[in-house]
Amino acid sequence: MKSIKITTLMWASYCSILDRAYKSLKKFLRDNYNVDLQMKIYSTRDIEEKFERFLRDTKESHLVLIYRISSEIYDRIPILENSIVIGQDPQYWNSKLSPKAYLYTVYGGIENFKNLILYLLANSSVVESIEYSEPLKFPFQGIYLKEDGNIKIYENLQDFLKDKEFNKKYTVGVLFSRHYLINEDMEVIDMLIDKLEEHFNVIPVFTYGAKDEDLGAWGSGECVMRYFFKDNKPVIDALINLLSFPLGTTKEGGALKKMDGVDILKKLDVPVFHPVVSYYKSYEEWERDKNGLSFEIGWNVALPELEGVIEPIIVGTTEKVGCLEKKKPIEDRIDKLVRRIKRWTELKYKDRSDRKVIFILHSNACASLEATVGSAAHLDTFQSLINIMRRLKENGYTVENIPESGDQLAKMILEKKAISEFRWTSVEEIVSKGGALYLMDESEYWKYFNSLPEEVKRKVLETWKDLNTGGMVYRDRDGRKKIVITGLRFGNIYVAVQPKRGCVGARCDGSVCKILHDPECPPTHHYIATYRYFNEIGDVIVHVGTHGSLEFLPGKNVGLSGKCYPDILIDDIPHIYIYNSDNPPEGTVAKRRSYSTLIDHMQVLMIDAFPSELEKLSNYVEEYLKEMDISRRHQLEHLILEEVKRVNIINLSKRVKEMEKKGTLHEEFKEIFQDIRNALEILKSSKCNDGMHVFGTIPEGERRVEYIYSILEFKHGRSKRLRKDIEDVISGRNIEDRELKEKILDINKRIEDSREIDSLLRVFDGRYIEPGPSGLITRGKIDILPTGRNFYSLDPYTIPTEASYRVGCILAEKLIHKYLEEEGRYPENVAIYWMCSDIMWSDGEVMAQILYLLGVKPRWRKGKVVGVDIIPLEELKRPRIDVTLRVSGILRDNFPNCMDIVDEAIVKVAKLEEPPEMNFVRKHVLEGIKEGLSFREATYRIFSSKPGTYGNGVKYAIYASAWENEEDLKDAFVLWNSYAYGKGVYGEKAKRSFEMLLKTVDVTYNKVVSDEYDLLGCCCYFGVHGGLINAVKVISGKDVKSYYGDTRRLENITVRTLKEEIERVTLSKLLNPKWIESMERHGYKGVGDISKRIGRVFGWSATTKEVDSWIFDGIYSTFIKDEKNREFFKRNNPYALEEIGRRLLEAYQRGLWNTDEETVEDLKRIYMEVEGYIEDTYDGIDMGDIQGGSIDISMEWKEKLIASYKNR
């Protein structure tokens, strides 16, 4: 008996069929050829961890068969004389046996794999005269039919339709990989087809994927055209695409190239669903894993999204025994997918006049719910809804009593109190004023609630108890409890405000803010009941604007289970989300976690922040700088100061008057002049938004010119000439620069082609929504236009790009240089708030900065980052700087590969045998180990909130006034954010490691990339970065430097202090008359957005003490003391005015604002007037038990948070 050993490294999906072939041949070879065959099978999926064992086996083998894929590890495999290399790319083939050996795998099936083994043996020198068959052909595409256990393949649609009776109303196409079929791994596909056939006619099509004329493979795109069309018309109502590669993939010369599959799907014009089969997780692993799909997201979710697919519901997992794999269906997830497709098709065929559309507005309850109804980034949601309702009515929808304007709609919602209870709103008032759409009887609610998974019911009841403490419960005359579902109805159109997420009752303090002490806090009974009601009465839900809370509820990241709250609440109703095209990070979460189809809208027009009121002052300053005559300079000093008093720039009029009283105008002029210059320069170098976008509109006239200018200036620079060229081209005149002219015309056409409301109507009709890129258009990304598309993000494996790495290196050098200048030494540890926007807006500039601070650089391969390389100290010429990273939950969930790259870099640097004074990472790791940490614990550098949660804790404490001192804010920050992440580490509790690192921090850091978004644009900035600064100060007992990078203009990359950045943003927007006037054009919504920004100023002051009193002075004089603005606010949004006054009073009481008693008394008087004005709106109705304007400091959350952290 001759013993022969073969070692194989095979594509993972081939391993099981190869193993079966091998086992079926063993006896045959022994009986017929006296050969004892031993085969070791390794999978491409896990070769990394088994690499050394694989190498040993190759050396002991007679034959080695390697299926090569694109991976660096193959470069480390020695190709021996007995090796045969195969794979899709012939450039790697090394043997005359390779072409036919590859063909056996391509045709596939157990017989071909048996003959592959025989072929290799027959052509080796170890066995003689073994017979084998040539590769048996199997179709590369076809229609799959399985009946009574028998499989039949159809080459064309006509033959299939003859044999298969279609007796259902709707038809669904299923497109899946031929690999499932040839590898006899069809359990997921078969169950999916069986479930679909209960409701639909089904056309199941398999495809090889790539087009290959030599093999006769059409490619997936052509399969769509041939099998889902008849007489050039689509025969399906929806497509389920299970492929993870583009439809337009072809194979030319051995290399895979991507063609545009979007054109194919546009012609098909039906929704394309993309359920996911996990190739790496077993069912148990997936069910346990709070992350869901982890590193599969890139190619299994993100890349397919480039073709506009929707709803990545997981339908299968991979069960493994060694390297052998089998796909297993998840039945309840398949049921979920089928139910959702059924609802989509029902919506498509329902008469428009009968369709019930639920529009859900958002609010920012923490920033005063009554003041912030309709919250959405840069979108006038109310006027947008009016425009939408008018178009719906024109298109046959039943829409009644459309309000005259957006302001009128906002007024109706607030007058009827069609919102959740809050500080100024009781449930009794809601019912009395007509804000209740429906009163859900408790028996109806409990019936639904009891159908939920046990784990979900337990958590909800633990948190919110019964309906007596669950909020939004009204007792009717008979004492029966009813959950109040709020909203307004306009025929078949419903407008509602999303319920509060983590608190209940007519209060906002630490006693009712459950989420403050429980990051995993489930939605309230009212939240659950509201979505249940809309699922039952509605045909489609549309969330309006960026963004709400549904998609951020606890649960898995991607590949949700039936226990994840977004999955439970959206249930099976079609979901549309109107989203800002500049926000891919959060829009991506909405797509993947709440199964939304995005309809993106145009970004707001950004204009020069410099207001015309300051032209005169600016001219005086310029003249003063040039003037040499002493008497004229003295005259100009007086003119400048008089003008300062008139325009009150940075609230300097008060200072000038004090100088006048003291008689020190001339002596102190130099100092105040520099402040004036700095303020003017800030305004000249900054931009502000010109109001908000209204859905379905495009900029016209001069605003069109400005819009195009704002796009082109990123690459062409600011100039009057550029603006004039745009005006000329738009007006039909010629310009000399032909290339620029083409760009202008292209942008202009893209603006004209934007069809936002048209796209919304299309999706209601069950049609395909074209995908498009997203990001910041003011960074020159023209292809974001036209809008009205279902945007996607980017390929996560390309981050950081080589261009962004260069920018990151500059940022790192500037940060280090600034600290050296100020402190005379290198910073040892830089704490960075690493946000997902860094990756999606600037291709990873901060990630690159992190790597360069560590002294490493990315290693790229074909444009993708595959690892990192150490920069030698002699080349770096400085110490390696340690980093502490607080990553956003969105980055954590969508870019795990980026975290892994950074973590790999940190661990590599920690292992370097270098002097601690030249390697601060190693220094701090050694200190950690000395204190009892393991090496892995000592290398934790990436932290975030608990898996499945989003937020930071600090913002809740500040908004609810639930803190007494900095120690309280530190506790909220550390306990919310001390979960470690990295390679092999996902959400480990690491409070000790986190606090030890924070003690070593010298600098905290974040970066601005564009003026669209700034540190007053969202509460997350002060909550995380501000919370981080406070935590470092409290834990280390020292002041730290806080810096802000700026890459708004790549020719002027800078790093400034946080204080300077707060002042820049305050000047260019919050206290800028130009910006204020543009926001006031939007009435209630504009005033509410101003109020939110002021609340964030308070948040920064509470966490950092970096907000000068002149800023609070400016807020007071601009919005409270100024009668014109005050009356406008009171008339349009008195709740916003109340919130501003309330926060100013709190700032004063907490010692954050240093002002005189006269100002405080005036503020109190005006605040009381506003309170009285609000109370008058009750018209004699019992206000109920509401908090009103009182500030109640409740600290009961703190002990609960500490206890819950320990118990997790």
Q: Are residues 443 and 514 in the same domain?
A: yes
Between CA 1177 and CA 1181, with CA 1178 as vertex, the angle to 5 degrees is 165
436's enclosing H/E stretch is strand 436-441
Residues, the chain, total? 1208
pLDDT at 1194: 56
- With respect to residue 963, please indicate whether it lies within any of the assigned structural domains: no
Among 510-519, 724-733, 771-780, 791-800, the least confident range: 510-519
Gap between the Cα atoms of 323 and 5, Å rounded: 18
Q: Where are the alpha helices (DSSP H) in 308-354?
A: 331-349
Give the C-alpha separation, 239 to 1013, whole Å: 38
Distance in angstroms (rounded) separating the CA atoms of residues 1173 and 625: 50
Burial class (CB in 10 A: 0-12, 13-18, 19+), 469: middle
Q: What are 993-1037's pLDDT values in tens digits?
A: 999 999 999 999 999 999 999 999 988 899 999 999 999 999 999
Average pLDDT over residues 478-487: 94
DSSP for 173-213, written as a single string: EEEEEHHHHHTT--HHHHHHHHHHTTTEEEEEEEE-SSBBT
Query: Is residue 727 a part of any domain in this protein?
Result: no
Q: Are residues 252 and 285 in the same domain?
A: yes
Q: Is the pLDDT of residue 384 over 60?
A: yes
Which of 200-204, 645-649, 708-712, 1114-1118 shows the lowest per-residue confidence on average (mean pLDDT)? 645-649
Which tens digits make up the pLDDT trace of 96-154? 999 999 999 999 999 999 999 999 999 887 777 889 999 999 999 999 999 888 999 99
Q: According to the model, what pLDDT value does residue 517 have?
A: 75
Among 34-38, 490-494, 967-971, name the most confident range: 490-494
Identify the pLDDT of residue 125: 76
- The pLDDT tens digits of the residues spanning 400-409 come to 999 999 999 9
Q: Which tops the pLDDT comparison, 328 or 1019?
A: 328
- Which pLDDT band holds residue 166 (cuts at 50, 70, 90)? very high
- SS3 helix, strand, coil % of the chain, rounded to 5? 50, 20, 35
CA 200, CA 338: separation in Å to the nearest integer?
9
Contact 836, 552 (CB under 8 A): no
Which of 89, 122, 155 is the endpoint of a domain?
122
Residues 361 and 335 grouped into a single domain: no
Helix or strand (DSSP H, E) at 689:
strand 687-689
Regarding whether 381 and 335 lie in a shared domain, the answer is no
Residues 241 and 177 in one domain: yes
460 and 484 share a domain? yes
**Confidence at residue 237, expressed as pLDDT on a 0 to 100 scale:** 98
The range of the structural domain enclosing residue 1113 comes to 1071-1184
Q: Does residue 616 sit within a domain?
A: yes
Q: Are strands 255-258 and 249-252 parallel, antiparallel or unpaired?
A: antiparallel
**Do residues 459 and 408 lie in contact, with contact meaning Cβ atoms separated by under 8 Å?**
no
Single out the residue of 930, 894, 908 nearest to residue 859, CA to CA. Answer: 908
Task: Give the confidence band of 811 by pLDDT, cuts at 50, 70, 90.
Answer: very high
How many other C-beta atoms lie within 10 A of the C-beta of residue 817? Answer: 11
Minimal CA–CA distance to 307: which of 271, 277, 336?
A: 271
Query: Considering only CA atoms, which of 1108, 1102, 938 is closest in space to residue 1029?
Result: 1102
pLDDT band for 506, please (50, 70, 90 cuts).
Answer: confident
* Lowest-pLDDT range of 861-865, 869-873, 1196-1200: 1196-1200
134 domain residue, yes or no: no
> Tell me, what's the pLDDT at 403?
98
Least confident of 657-671, 705-719, 957-971: 657-671
Cβ atoms of 841 and 937 within 8 Å: the answer is: no
Q: What is the pLDDT of residue 507?
A: 75
Could you tell me what percent of the chain has a pLDDT over 70?
96
- pLDDT at residue 564 is higher than 80: yes
Show Cβ contacts of residue 1161 under 8 Å, excluding neighbours closer than 6 positions.
none
Mean pLDDT, the chain, whole residue set: 91
CB atoms within 10 A of CB 823: 12
Residue 859 domain-assigned (yes or no):
yes
pLDDT at 250: 60
Q: What is the pLDDT of residue 73?
A: 82
Indicate if 1044 and 1122 belong to the same structural domain: no
Whether 323 shows a pLDDT value over 90: the answer reads no
Decide: residue 500, CB within 10 A, 0-12 exposed, 13-18 middle, 19+ buried.
buried
Q: Check whether residue 251 and residue 311 sit in a common domain.
A: yes
Residue-level pLDDT at 893: 87
Does 1054 share its domain with 1075?
Answer: no
Which pLDDT tens digit goes with each residue over 1169-1195? 998 888 887 766 666 677 666 665 555
Q: Quick one: 1173 and 1096 in the same domain?
A: yes
Provide the CB-side half-sphere exposure for 1156 (13 A, CA): 4
Average pLDDT rounded to a whole number, residues 163-190: 95
Task: Quote the tokens at residue 1050.
Answer: 């790549």
Q: What CATH number should be reported for the domain holding residue 108?
A: 3.40.50.720
Report the range of poorest mean pLDDT among 62-76, 170-184, 197-211, 594-608: 62-76
Q: Among residues 122, 152, 186, which one ends one of the domains? A: 122
Q: Residue 15 above 70 pLDDT?
A: yes
CB neighbourhood size of 539 (10 A): 18
The 10s digit of each residue's pLDDT in 333-373 is 999 999 999 999 999 999 999 999 999 999 988 888 899 99
Identify whether 759 is part of a domain: no
Other Cβ atoms within 10 Å of 324 Cβ, number: 16
Number of domains in the chain: 6
Query: Mean pLDDT across the stretch 169-191?
Result: 96
With a cut of 50, say whether residue 256 has pLDDT above it: no
Confidence of residue 214 (pLDDT cuts 50, 70, 90): confident
Report d(CA 223, CA 583) in Å as an integer. 34
- CA quadruple 420, 422, 426, 432: dihedral sign: negative
The confidence band for 414, taking pLDDT boundaries of 50, 70 and 90, is very high
Distance CA 55, CA 33 (A): 28
Return the percentage of the chain with pLDDT > 90, whole number. 72
Mean pLDDT value across residues 1153-1175 = 91
Nearest to 829 by CA among 862, 858, 853, 855: 853
**Residue (of 776, 996, 1024) closest to 892 by Cα position:** 1024
Residue 34 zone, left/alpha/beta (φ > 0; ψ -120 to 50; rest): left
Tokens 């002042």 — which residue? 1063
Q: Give the separation between CA 435 and CA 418, rounded to whole angstroms.
A: 4
Question: What does DSSP assign to residue 450?
Answer: T
What is the spatial distance between Cα 1173 and Cα 277, in angstroms, rounded to a whole number? 58
Checking if the pLDDT of 255 tops 60, the result is: no
Using alpha carbons, select from 1004, 994, 999 the residue that is nearest to residue 1027.
Answer: 1004
Distance CA 1126, CA 1128 (A): 5
Q: Which of 45, 37, 88 is nearest to 63 (CA)?
A: 37
320 and 419 inside one domain: no
Which long-range CB contacts under 8 A does 868-873 form with residues at least 24 apart? 868/901, 868/904, 868/905, 868/908, 870/908, 870/909, 870/912, 873/914, 873/918
Considering the domain boundaries, does residue 531 fall inside one? yes
Residue whose pair of structure tokens reads 């204009």 in the numeric block: 607
DSSP, residue by residue, 928-942: HHHTT--HHHHT--E
Give Dmax (Cα) for the chain.
Answer: 115
Which carries the bigger pLDDT value, residue 1035 or residue 253?
1035
Same-domain status, 1116 and 1088: yes
- Separation of alpha carbons 36 and 124, rounded Å: 15
pLDDT (tens digit per residue) in 1057-1066? 999 999 999 9
pLDDT beyond 50 at 257 = no
> Is residue 970 domain-resident?
no
Q: 562, 336 in Cβ contact below 8 A?
A: yes
